[in-house]
Amino acid sequence: MSPSSRPRRVRPFPLAELPRLLRVQVELGQALWRHILAVLDAAKSPLGGLHDLANRLGAAPQVRTVEPYLFPSERLGSQLAGGVLLKLTNGLPGRDVVLVIEEPLCQKLGLLRPDDVAQLIRTALLAAEVRVSVLSVDDAMALLDENGSPQLISLDARVTVPSTQGWARLLCRPDIRLWALMAPSDVAAQKSWLRRERLRGISSTLTIEAGYGFLPTAEVVALRPDDIVILDHFGPRPVTGGPVALRLGGGVFPAFLDGAGVTILGPYHLRAESMADANADTTSSELSALSGEPSTKPSPPGEHLLRELPVQITCEIGRVTLTAKEILDLRPGAVVPVGRPLAGPVDLTAGGRVIARGELVDVEGELGVRVTEVID
């Protein structure tokens, strides 16, 4: 007798458990939505890729969803069927979800390979701390069934673009509830506000970023005066007005530059510097520089790897100084005075360090930076 034909004892569903299961489903759905909204909020940075996604598709996609629901893990195979599978990693290891996008929808959009789909989503989430990679069915099942949970969470959506429509699905494990930090108690919140008062006299400098991109290490080292660097993501056009990012440490406030003031458009969020883990073709095309001829001298194998490592280059057009308390009080709609015109020289930075200074130039309709000084 085969295992599938063995008699099984089926237990009736305990109706008394229904309210508890419904409550758990609602709580898990709320946790999933909090994480989704946090990622989308970060991706809405003016320098992020959601704008590129809308341009690629002809318009911003319209997404209609149902409430997240629990389903038995035995049905995972059917939930994965018929779609391109992507793994989305949000922040720390283990915070993985699986995105399933209908194959016919991808083909109608001209995305013929799974890597093409992954690159489109990777670009859309460029400003959020999310890594995107292609999954096989076996890898997806192993990822979602890692803890042997009897149930999983699904969020189904109908995606509509100007030319077509189709379905997509987000799948994750129930341990998503463990990703969120517990809300602080009233006593802890009060102490936090008292600590803020101590920050009234402490100043910090924020940089105004107009654009960024990636450049291989070899080209960063080869930068010379009169080279022209063209940034793929450039916000304000002209530089005195348009979307910018107000950077503090490893994160930014999405903002809009208008004359002598910067208006905050959204809350502070960490920007993923890990987008440089895309394939070599993608990262090398993110940024271009006209530099001197490369050396023909042979180099060790490790040297080749070092030359290809992508470095994020940022164009900084100005700085503002605020107290720590003023920074904590920044909210969407707040205006930060710039204090001086921003039409002068600009800095090119990498890892927070100024590596070159230059002036903005127009190169066939694109804004670039002509290097006038290289900082050793």
User: What is the tally of helices (H) and strands (E) in the chain?
Assistant: 11, 20
pLDDT at 206 over 70: yes
pLDDT for the residue 116 = 92
Q: What CA–CA distance (Å, rounded) separates 122 from 132?
A: 6
pLDDT for the residue 138 = 92
Mean confidence (pLDDT) of the chain: 75
pLDDT at 54 over 60: yes
Which is more confidently placed, 25 or 120?
Answer: 120
Structural domains present in the chain: 17-178 (3.40.1550.10), 192-295+302-374 (2.30.330.10)
pLDDT at 302 over 60: no
What token pair was written down for 275? 């987008």
Which is more confidently placed, 163 or 103?
Answer: 103
pLDDT for the residue 291 = 37
Q: Is the dihedral of CA 181, 183, 185, 187 positive or negative?
A: positive
pLDDT for the residue 289 = 37
pLDDT at 83 over 80: yes
Mean predicted confidence (pLDDT) in 33-56: 72
Query: To the nearest 10°, the Cα dihedral for 21, 25, 28, 32?
Result: 170
- pTM value? 0.49
Residue 259 pLDDT level (bands cut at 50, 70, 90): low
Q: CA–CA distance from 349 to each of 300, 315, 317 (Å)? A: 28, 7, 11
pLDDT in tens, 342-352: 566 888 888 77
pLDDT at 310 over 90: no
Which range has the worst mean pLDDT, 9-18, 74-83, 255-264? 9-18
pLDDT for the residue 238 = 63
Q: Is 214 exposed, middle or buried (0-12, 13-18, 19+ CB in 10 A)?
A: buried
What token pair was written down for 156? 């189904």
